Every structure is written in C-alpha cells, then in structure tokens.
Amino acid sequence: MVKYFLLILVIAQAFNQQGFSQNNGSKPLNSPYSLINSEQLCQIAQQITVKITGRESWGSGVIVLKNEHTYTIVTTAHILKQDESQYTIETQDGQSYQGLLISRFDNNKTDGYDLAVLQFQSLQHSYQVANLVQWQQLEQVMAGGFPQDTQKFFCTKLGQVSLQLEQSMEEGYQLGYFLDTRKGMSGGPILNQQGQVVGIHGWGEPLIFINHDLYLYRDGSRVSQSLNIPPEEALDLLSASGWAIPAEILPILYPDLVNSQDN
C-alpha cells in the first residue's frame, strides 16, 4: 500500500512540473501557457467529448488516447451497467461507433475509483485527443458533456474551484467546483483555462437528502470535519460543489497513457 501511494505521489509531481500529454503525433490543442476564451474552450471540449449510450446507460466520456485507428475513452463507471459490455459512442461530428468496455475501476468505495475505460475504432475519421494535466491553484474551470434532457453537447460557464481536498473521497473524488452541470454530463471533461483536462466530472446535481456521511474520505472519516470551518458550513460547501476525479490518477490506473509518451 505504501508503494502504491508513493507511485501516486511521483506521478502527481511529474504532472505538476511538466504536465502530461498524449496526443500521439497530433498537434496540441493549444499553447500550454495561453488562456483561452469561453467559446474556444467549449470548442475544445466538444472535440474531445463523446456521448455514451447503452440499453439503460447515458453519459459522457473523454478521448484520452489514439493508437492508429483505435481510440480510448475514459468515463465514470457509474453511468455503465454492470451487465453491459458494449455501448454506442457518438463523436462530435455525429458519427456513431460500437464501444467496447475495456476496464472498470469501481471495485469498491474504499480503494476503487468511479472510472471506466472504453475503446472504439474509426477507420475513416480522425478525432482529437485530450491533453491531461494537474489542476493548478487559482485556475478557473469549465465542464462539457451531453445532458440527458437535451441530448446535445453543452458547456458550462467558467467557474471557480471550490475545494481541492488533500486526500480523495470514496470513489476517488477530490476536486470540487461551482459549475452548472446537468444529468448526463458525468464522465465528461473538466477543463482549465488553457483547454487542458484536469478532471473527469462525476457528481453534479444537488443531493436532496444531504448529510455528513455522504462525503467521506476513504478511511471513513467525514470530510466536513477536516476543512477548518464549522461542520455545517463545510457541508453546505460540499453539497454546493460539483466533483471530479483528478486527471493525474488516470495514468496510474491505465498505464498505457504513460507508455504512449514514448511512441
């Protein structure tokens, strides 16, 4: 277990120092230091985001890797049914592909992650790959995805990060933000102001029955008692925030993302 967390620390430091990108020969979407306006950010989000549907599934996903004609997508595991392995993946140009479930990492809440990996093949069309980095202090963020009510791609406005927890909650959630996300956007990207993906969105709509035990660290302790503000104020802040799993965990769970840098 100690070695595992040391590995996370090493890769997180690498993210912090130089970022992480796996565009596999395609040109980067943007300069790593240039700020982009909201309209351009939304265009970038749309290029790298897909719609994922199944018999009883609906959500969004992010293209994170291209290997010849095969594209790898990361999404949240909770949008996928346990008994389904094949899904329909719709890209930004309206094309539909058969998606195959490769891995899911939600084995349990205490050490699992609400993440899954799918793949599809496209012989005739080429798609952009996300640039994954670690979120930096003071950066605003934007979410993109496919709300279930409209079934069309949607971007939120830029918003503030509300919390970056020192450790992850159950299922890996750690980055909180004030964004108007909608049902169906789970699995979509959280972008910084440079068009880079800093997280995978998973929690959005406010919960009806809010209590302290909805927000727990992996060891079972309450997040609301660790924020150096009164617990009830902390609970209000937690429940008003949307939540993402940080992008830096992805190459740890799916090492092909690291290996792709050498190709």
Confirm whether 20-35+49-130+250-262 and 142-246 share one CATH topology.
yes
Mean pLDDT of all residues in 9-29:
41
25 versus 88: which is more confidently predicted? 88
Percent residues over pLDDT 90 in the chain:
71
Taking CA atoms, 103 is separated from 74, 75, 107, in Å, by 10, 11, 11
- Segment 240-255, tens digit of pLDDT: 999 999 999 999 999 9
Domain extents for the chain?
20-35+49-130+250-262, 142-246
Domain 142-246: top CATH class:
mainly beta
Span 20-35+49-130+250-262 CATH architecture = Beta Barrel (2.40)
Nearest Cα neighbor of 58 from 219, 183, 220 is 183
Give Cα 159 distance to the centre of its chain: 16
Please report where in the chains the tokens 């997180």 appear, as a residue. Answer: 12
228 versus 82: which is more confidently predicted? 228
- Segment 123-169, tens digit of pLDDT: 999 999 999 999 998 899 999 999 988 989 999 999 999 999 999 99
DSSP H helices in the chain: 2-18, 38-48, 231-240, 250-253, 256-259
